[in-house]
Structures are given as C-alpha cells and as structure tokens.
Structure 1
Amino acid sequence: MAEYQNLGVIADDAPAVATPTPARGKEMRVNLLNKLRAPPLVHAWDFWHDRQDRNINTITTPATSLQSVAAAPTTSPTEKPITNYEDRLVHLASISDVRTFWNVFNNFDVSALPLRDSVHLFHRNVKPLWEDPRNAHGGCWTFRVPKERAPAFWERICLLAVGEKLQAAVESDRQHFRDDVCGVSLSVRFTSVLVQVWNRDAGHEQGIQRLLETVFANLEPELMPRENGFYYKPHHEHAAFAGGKAAAKSAPLKQS
C-alpha cells in the first residue's frame, strides 16, 4: 500500500474502499446519538423558585443563570413586593433526563438561598401550591434539617424523587383515588431548613407511612432528623389554604 500513498494518488489496482450509503450513514448517526443520549427520567420535572421579596419588576425579568437567582438584588423601597404566593413563583428549568437534572442541581447552590426563599422540584404541570388540583387533597412530610446538613439532605431527597423510589412507596391498589408523589421542596428558615415531600392523597395512611420509611432507609446516619424533627400535615389543615377546611373535605375526589 505504500506505493499507493505516495503523491496522494490511488492506483488502478489499489484495494477498493467501501463507501457507506446515505441510508447506512444515517443509521450509524442515529445509533451513535442513542448511545450518547442521557438516560431519560420516568417523569418530567419542573424546577421552581419562590423568592420572598420578589417584586413586580423582577418577576418579569428572567435570570441569566441559576446562580444569579439566589444573588438577585432585594426589593428597593420604591418597588412594591408581590403578596400573592403564586405570582412569586418563577419557573427555572424543565428536567426530563439525568444529564439535565445534574446540570440544574449542580448549578443551584441551596446554601446561598436567602431567608424564607424556597425551591421546588415538581412533576411537570403540577405547581407547588396547596390548591393545585393535583395537590388539593394531599399533604406533605416536613423534615427540619440543620442548615449545614441541608444540601446533602436535599440531594438525597431529590434523587429519591427522580429515581422513583418515593413514587414506589405510595403505589397501591386503591381503586377510588390514585396516589402520587407530586414533588419535593426546600425552604430556608431562621435556624434550619425545611425539606418537604408532597403526596397527592392525605388519606392514604399506608402510603404516607411507607414514604417516611423510604426516606429513613436511604439517609446516612448523620442526616437522620431528630425524633421531633419531622411531621406529616394535610394541606387543607393550613390556615392559609384557599377555601378553608370545609371546602377541602367536601370536594369530591376525582380519578385521573
């Protein structure tokens, strides 16, 4: 073959080189992309941010990066803060595969969140609101976590959520109402951080207990909450729940 390579020419008796057809080339490209594509998640998720002092001006200005959200300037004396909780929510990212999850998670430092700010990782089309149709009859486990342990605790809970372990805990053969894990939240308080796991059916006692057992079974010993550092509460028991307790108890359960 050396003589064929001299001067960059190919002689008449040089071995033929197979040229892939366009169809074959397309097939190879698809196969390569499939191998490189990040594994998809079972459910698509949305990442939300609630800033306590968000105002009318900043609510319409998208963040240039996830890191800039936590470092955004606070409300000035001349700006009117938003009092409606839903209006304070800003959608930050949509997550449907493992690579996107880690891109989002690793670029949002929850330890830098200001006091009373919250972040939420929820199933797509479910807002982190008690009154959302998928949440109205549900509740959540709340874990009070020391601030220095909050990032590790939050990571563990998020992995249990996107990895479907929390969903497996609430699955059952209940016929009248399907239970789901709707999402997980982190909220900054004065001396600690509250991490929550939301489920759809506050009447599903076995599922609620299995949720707690699943969380505990997947926590390192140093992340385990204190004996009085966790509790479950239905959303309609909160004083600020829209419509009051009576409306929540009388509303019919709908299968979907």
Structure 2
Amino acid sequence: MTNTSTLTGPALQASRAALSAALAEQANSSQHEQELEVGEIQEVDMEAQADGIRTVFNDPSNFNVKHPLFSPWTLWFDSPATKGRNMPQTPVSAFPQTPIPQTPGVQAAQGWMEDIKRVISFDSVEEFWGLYNNIIPPSQLPQKANYYLFKEGIIPAWEDEANKHGGKWSIQLPKDKNRGNVDKMWMYTMLAAIGETFDPSPTLGDGSAAASLITGVIVSTRPQFYRISIWTRLAPSGSDEDAALRERIEGVGRHFKTSVLGYPESARLAGPLATEVEFLSHKDSEKKGKAKKIIV
C-alpha cells in the first residue's frame, strides 16, 4: 500500500531528507567490519535501521527525526497569575519563556499584551508533541486562563495586521458537562490548525499558494464554561463580491464542528451556558447587540 504525504514543497523535501539521513546513519553504524568482495551485495537489516529512527512518539526527549510543519507556530499563555508580574506562574515545565517581539501590532495592543506571555515557538511535529506533553491541559487550568496558538509573527490581538480584517469561529461549552472532553477538543483543534486542514491554501493561477485564512486558535477557561475559538485573517462583509470568501469561512466552521469537535452538522448545540458554532468578525464584536453571526 502506498502512503501519500500531505506535506508539500520545502516541507516535504525537508521531511524526506531527515528520514533519509536517519536511515543512512543507522545503516553506516550497522555495517560489518570486514570488506566485501567484488560483486558481493551487502545485506541490510531494514528492521534494525527502523529501530534507529526515534520520533517524539517513542522517545520524547531524544528523538532524531523531525517532520516540519507548513508554518511555524507560537504558543502564548495568560491567567490571573500573570497579570502585573514579570514572570507568570507558568503552566510549562520544560520550555523557557521568550520575550514578545515589539511589532506595530504589539505596540497598538500594548495594554493587552503586557500580561500575556510568549511561551515557545516550534516548526515540527516532534516539537509540537514535545510541547504538548509538558503543558497543563485546559481542564486543569485556573479560571480566566487562556492558551493562544498562533502562527509565528502574529500576536493574539485584533490590532495585528493579520487579524484586524478578520474574525473568529467559536463555541462555548458548559464546564460541568465538558470537563472530560475539552482537552481532546483542544488537542484536535491545535492539530487541525498546525496541519492546515481548516483551510487548505488554494493554488493561485501562477502556481503559488494563497495564505491560509487561519491565524490562530484559542482555548479559554471561565468559571462556568470553556470557549474554543479559531481566528481568521479575513471576514465576509455580506456583499456579493464576498460570496467566495463566505464559502471558505463557512467551510472552516463546518470542519470545526463536524471533524474537530465531532458533532453532526445538523446538531443544535445552544442551551444554558452553551452556544452554537458561530462566526463573528472582530469589527462586529465591538457592536453590542448589532452583530451579524454566521452559524453552522
């Protein structure tokens, strides 16, 4: 059976190079010391070679193969414990804190960004799982805490250039009924984001790829509910010209609801402390009572 890689371009080449290097290293180390006679073929033990390949799944600390992601990502965190303090009571045990880059978006959102902490950036499958295995899951976070996973170079604020014309899909989940599910939902949301499955970049006429709509994903813990959100770099305005964009936005929401969260597309989810899977532009979020939502 043939396996087809979902990586493309440089990411696929880098992944193949990493795998080939690991195989070659193991093959060299396992060769017999005696020289081969002319015409003799060295037998290669493929199982022994495979045993030398260590991914994060079988050796979280000493893996030697990395599978690059299409884009690098950064994890951010805040909670009441981080407010007004230089260093947070961090949920991360194995990774150092890094400072927030002073981009124009950060400067515009300076008050908001004072309390949010940039945890670490990563650009491979192995580094993601190494991070995931060393952070506290959402179900165990304190009240009013948030994880933000955004593409590298984009801060989790409306003011960022990549976010200011966009919006977000979100769902609110009652805490008592979803404490056992939220960790899995958040993990699947992150995997869909870094795997670029929410909005696979369309190919343009010149053969290049357009930027994905997705800029980041967020999970928030509140006294009575959890909220999971997906931020997009664009939001439809409602005009006829935006029909194609609206279709892409709705596709993100349907994938979020059915493939990530696991609900039937026809399911109605609203109830006490619960919402449907709904989209709202950042601009409309500022309009109290006048917002136009898209619901799937």
The alignment's TM-score, normalised by the length of structure 2, stands at: 0.57
CA–CA separation in structure 1 for the residues paired with 2:217 and 2:257: 15
Asked if 2 retains the 8 angstrom alpha-carbon contact of 1:120 and 1:184, the reply is: yes
Asked if 1 retains the 8 angstrom alpha-carbon contact of 2:253 and 2:278, the reply is: no
Task: Provide the identity percentage.
Answer: 22
- The answer on 1:227 being equivalent to 2:269 is yes
C-alpha RMSD of the superposition: 3.5
Counting matched residue pairs gives: 197
Q: Kindly report which structure 2 residues correspond to 1:72-111, keeping only aligned pairs within 5 A, or say none.
A: 84-108=111-135, 109-111=137-139
Residues 103 and 137 of structure 1: CA distance in aligned 2, closer, same or farther (over 3 Å): same
Select the residue among 232, 236, 240 that pairs with 2:283. Answer: 236
Point out the structure with max Rg over C-alpha: 1
Q: Specify every segment of 5 or more residues in structure 2 that has no aligned partner in the other structure, as ranges.
A: 1-32, 36-52, 56-62, 96-109, 237-244, 271-275, 292-296
Residues 163 and 179 of structure 1: CA distance in aligned 2, closer, same or farther (over 3 Å): closer
Select the residue among 66, 86, 90 that pairs with 1:38. Answer: 66
**Partner of residue 13, structure 1:** none
The secondary structure found in structure 2 opposite 1:133 is: coil
Q: Deviations over 1:23-71 (max 9, x none)?
A: xxxxxxxxx8999321111110000002235233x3x2366760599xx
**Higher alpha-carbon deviation: 151-160 or 208-217:** 208-217
Select the residue among 232, 248, 254 that pairs with 1:199. Answer: 232
**Partner of residue 163, structure 1:** 195
1:114 deviation in Å?
Answer: 1.2
The alignment's TM-score, normalised by the length of structure 1, stands at: 0.66
Select the residue among 82, 88, 106 that pairs with 1:54. Answer: 82
Q: Deviations over 1:148-202 (max 9, x none)?
A: 311111011111111110131x64769xx95520010001122221000111110
Q: Specify every segment of 5 or more residues in structure 1 that has no aligned partner in the other structure, as ranges.
A: 1-15, 19-31, 70-82, 246-256
CA–CA separation in structure 1 for the residues paired with 2:263 and 2:93: 28
Higher relative contact order (CA 8 A, sep 6+): 1
CA–CA separation in structure 1 for the residues paired with 2:221 and 2:168: 17
Residues 230 and 65 of structure 1: CA distance in aligned 2, closer, same or farther (over 3 Å): closer
Asked if 2 retains the 8 angstrom alpha-carbon contact of 1:147 and 1:191, the reply is: no
